[in-house]
Amino acid sequence: MSFTRRYWKCTCGSEGSYAADALLGIEGERSTTTVQKHCCKLAADLSFAGTSETMHDLLGVELAPETVRTMVEGHGKQMARFQKEDTASEKAFQEAAGDVEFTTDAGKVHTREEGWKDLKIGVIAKREAGEATTPAEWKKQRLPAATMVLAFAMIATAKEFRQEWRPRLRRLGVTSLASVHALADGASWIWKAVQRVLTGCVQTLDIFHGCGHVHKCAERIHGEDSAETKAAFKRGRTLLVSQGWAGICQWVGELLSVEDETERERRRPATDRLIAYFVKHVGRLNYAERLQAGRAIGSGQVEGQAKTLGLRLKRRGARWNKCNVAPMASLICVRRSSQWDPYWAMAA
């Protein structure tokens, strides 16, 4: 059935409404659960206007972008509450096979009230060990898919965000922090929080971020896209994966072993920067050990979540009411985690 009526919204920025809906008796959701589910799934990746258009093209459903926005944000608020009360997923996590992986990152979101804000993201997963891999073949490593993935995000300071970690892990049945494997990039706020909150856990610097610094050092010395840069990077990467901190020290020694003193001094600032970066992560370069155990050495789990959140929340020209960021972030996290089906089973 189609209704045409006026949408009222105050200039103060508060939520608007169709004032006639109460008289017509059509308040609340006016779509089937299936339509709502499809809208939420699409809106996790597309704009509300894009979701409206796609729903029309694929299913022939006519929904105005504003109707989609209201519907999706409503479910986002419910999902935010659901994440805190979802005992079914907590029980499933406890029963799932595999070891606990914790990854975290941060992105940016543009709010109307306060401009750009940090959006912190955390992913707690369980994954069984894969086949043992040697450092020489680490790029061929294929890990089993995670048996459970739970994600959460919030606008918060590092202190506020880290205070969420231990309670969430306890609810998931994690009683020993020594069984947790933390993976992340080199951001100092992450590792300070890990040291303070997850004391005793296994820590690994994301291999791809580490390799990025090795490549940058090779470029500073040999120039961009040169054959010497490619050879130096390959050598440095091999030593990093196979020997960790000792490998970095060995590679720096090789780079500075040239006879020409002027050339050696020219290279030194690049190698000093490399050492200054890796010296903060000496105990997190355990790649050979983790590969031998069939474990992850990259933080791709959270990198994917951060990219998904960023693509959705930082669309061109997008600005969000701050109160709507958490619902949308919760919707995207639920959509990309093991909580999607349990939520709709509850909502049906």
**Mean pLDDT, all residues of the chain:** 90
What are the pLDDT digits (tens) for 225-268? 899 999 999 999 999 999 999 999 999 999 999 999 999 999 99
48 closest CA partner among 347, 334, 318, 338: 318
pLDDT above 60: residue 318: yes
Instruction: Assess whether pLDDT exceeds 70 at residue 99.
Output: yes
- The tally of domains found in the chain comes to 3
Indicate whether 232 and 111 sit together in one domain: no
Question: Do 42 and 106 share a structural domain?
Answer: no
Say if 43 falls within a structural domain: yes
H or E element: which one contains 18? strand 17-18
Could you tell me the sign of the dihedral formed by the alpha carbons of 138, 142, 145, 151, in that order? positive
Both 315 and 189 in a single domain?
yes
To the nearest whole percent, how much of the chain has pLDDT over 70? 94
Residue 30: pLDDT over 80 = no
Of 62, 84, 106, at which residue does a domain stop? 84
Question: CA 235, 237, 240 angle in degrees (round to 5)?
Answer: 110
Amino acid at 235: R
Two structure tokens written together for 205? 């610097």
pLDDT for 9 equals 78
Residues 233-243: tens digit of each pLDDT: 999 999 999 99
Task: Choose one of 235, 260, 283: the last residue of a domain.
Answer: 283
Last residue of a domain, one of 84, 112, 139: 84
Has residue 266 been placed in a domain? Answer: yes
Same-domain pairing of 201 and 333? yes
Q: Domain check: are 145 and 250 in the same one?
A: no
Long-range Cβ contact pairs of 300-304 (< 8 A, separation 24 or more): 301/101, 301/103, 301/123, 301/125, 301/146, 301/149, 301/183, 302/103, 302/104, 302/105, 302/121, 302/122, 302/123, 302/183, 302/184, 303/103, 303/105, 303/206, 304/336
Same domain, residue pair 182 and 302: yes
The answer for residues whose C-beta is within 8 angstroms of residue 10's C-beta and 6 or more apart is 16
Rounded CA gap, 120 and 118, in Å?
A: 6
Give the residue among 192, 150, 195 at the shortest CA–CA distance from 172.
150
Instruction: Verify that 260 and 321 share a domain, yes or no.
Output: no
> What confidence tens digit (pLDDT) does each residue in 113-143 have?
999 998 999 999 999 999 999 998 988 888 8
Whole-model pTM: value is 0.86
Q: What range does the domain containing 36 cover?
A: 7-84
Q: 199 pLDDT band (50/70/90 cuts)?
A: very high
Residue 74: partners with Cβ closer than 8 Å, 6 or more residues away: 29
Residue 127 CB-half CA count within 13 A? 25
Q: How far apart are CA 113 and CA 141, in angstroms?
A: 45
Q: What is the pLDDT of residue 271?
A: 97
Alpha-carbon distance 110 to 116, whole Å? 4
